Amino acid sequence: MKNYRLWAVLAFATVLTGCGALPSLPFVDSAEKAPKQTYVDLRRQPPLQIPEDLQLSEPSQVSGVPQIQVQRNASYYPDRPPLPDAKYAADNRNEVRVQRLANRNWLVIPEPPTTAWPKMKQFFADNGVVLTDDRPELGRLSTDWLAATGRPARDVVRSLLATARSEAGLESGEDRFLIRVEQGLQPQSTEVHLRHDNDALGEAVGIDLVQVQSLSSDLVAAEKALLEQIGAYVAARVAESTVSKVALQIGSNPKTDMRRNADGIPELSFYLDRGRALASLTQSLRNAGVIVNYSDSSSGRFDVSIPREVLTGEKSGGLLCRVTFSCGTRGATNVTLQMSAAVATDNGEAFKISVLEDGEYMADLDKAQEILVLIREFAT
């Protein structure tokens, strides 16, 4: 027992000695601490200066460094940087397809305009059709006037044109096609709008026309047939994938924009006419698997239920779900999507979509932005 007491005293003395050996830390008042520097306060530093007496070699870029877009309203993320937007994939994103809205038709190509533009020109060159209007900075092409010869055509363009004229009973005038190549709704996509023009039907189209989709084709059958032929040509990869640097400006005007306004509220903008903006929103909800409980196109209101698996990617299952059919709406997010009236912006007229909850802007701004990103990714 005495030995145990002796060992206990020695151990206690060692602890006291160790504590006394530690240097004492000075007291720092929290008010005197330097302000916390968040990522918002970070600034680009000046380039490295090389002393004159050292050899300066030419800088080289071993691998491409992507450009980081400026984060708008960064002050709304004071505690942490904003998370990257989620990525969603539509089933037909990599398909060449013809889309229709009422009496409008256009071709969607899953390539940027810089590679789609030379393929458009190559298609007409392969068919022996001369292009008289070639403005890559505007994405505009026009074919030469094609006269009806009465002989069987040897190329696709004249052949489908002869068929359309015959079905419509058109025997007079010459024909041409007006083409507009522009950025699609998705970043790496292109839209091709095409109109048929006959000089014996209607007034002559001005040479300064850019938005050919504002016109109606004299022969809609010729328009549809040529769009399908161009789509098949691109899908078959007949032409080599080359990049046109002169067509870089075609993709400089996006059709969608995701940002937070001056109050920090996330908004999705569609730079489209109202009819197509509503159609794109409706189609996006359908593609994403969002349940539309109520919609009013006149006011731009959509009451929707977003299943949990749509946002998380986790599929719910199990025997109980299949028996009760109750898992489709379990954990769903119920919100209202409100499309505004036309708003003038720096990029032209836009229709803005906001996320509401109980008649007010959704309090969870990050989730509201996630919902709008979902809509943007599935829009066609």
Domain spans, the chain: 97-250, 254-378
Amino acid 281: pLDDT: 93
Burial class (CB in 10 A: 0-12, 13-18, 19+), 172: exposed
Amino acid 316: pLDDT: 55
Question: Could you tell me the two tokens for 272?
Answer: 């489209």
CATH 3.40.630.30 for domain 97-250: no
Distance between CA atoms of residues 112 and 379, nearest Å:
16
Given a contact cutoff of 8 angstroms between Cβ atoms, the answer to whether 314 and 327 are in contact is no
* Maximum alpha-carbon separation in the chain: 125
Burial class (CB in 10 A: 0-12, 13-18, 19+), 157: buried
Measured from the Cβ of residue 210, the count of other Cβ atoms closer than 10 Å reads: 13
Strands (E), 73-223: 97-101, 104-109, 131-135, 140-143, 175-183, 190-198
Question: Could you tell me the two tokens for 150?
Answer: 């009465």
* CATH classification for the domain delimited by 254-378, as one of 3.40.50, 1.10.3470, 3.30.310, 3.90.550: 3.30.310
251 pLDDT band, cuts 50/70/90, is: low
Given a contact cutoff of 8 angstroms between Cβ atoms, the answer to whether 334 and 305 are in contact is yes
Question: Could you tell me the two tokens for 165?
Answer: 């004229």
337 pLDDT band, cuts 50/70/90, is: very high
> Which tens digits make up the pLDDT trace of 27-72?
445 445 555 555 556 677 787 777 877 776 666 655 555 555 555 5
Question: Could you tell me the two tokens for 62?
Answer: 């071993």
Average pLDDT of the segment spanning 99-122? 90
3 state SS for 194-260 = EEEEECCCCCCCCCCCCCHHHCCCCCHHHHHHHHHHHHHHHHCCCCCCCCCHHHHHHHHCCCEEEEE
Token pair 């009013």: residue: 296
Token pair 């969607």: residue: 108
25 pLDDT band, cuts 50/70/90, is: very low
Residues of 290-315 as b/e, b for ≥16 C-beta within 10 angstroms?
Answer: beeeebeeeebebebebbbbbbeeee
154 pLDDT band, cuts 50/70/90, is: confident
CA distances (Å), origin 244, targets 137, 142, 147: 11, 18, 31
Amino acid 319: pLDDT: 46
Question: Could you tell me the two tokens for 184?
Answer: 């699609």
Amino acid 323: pLDDT: 44
Amino acid 351: pLDDT: 94
Amino acid 28: pLDDT: 47
Burial class (CB in 10 A: 0-12, 13-18, 19+), 226: buried
> Which tens digits make up the pLDDT trace of 278-327?
999 999 999 889 999 999 999 999 999 999 888 876 665 544 454 444 45
Distance between CA atoms of residues 316 and 158, nearest Å:
54
pTM of the model: 0.65
Closest-CA residue to 354 (of 330, 367, 372): 372
Question: Could you tell me the two tokens for 350?
Answer: 């836009």
Per the model's pLDDT, the better-predicted residue between 45 and 90 turns out to be 45
Q: Please measure the distance between the N-terminal and C-terminal CA atoms of the chain and give it in whole angstroms.
A: 86
Does residue 214 carry a pLDDT above 50?
yes
Question: Could you tell me the two tokens for 365?
Answer: 């701004």
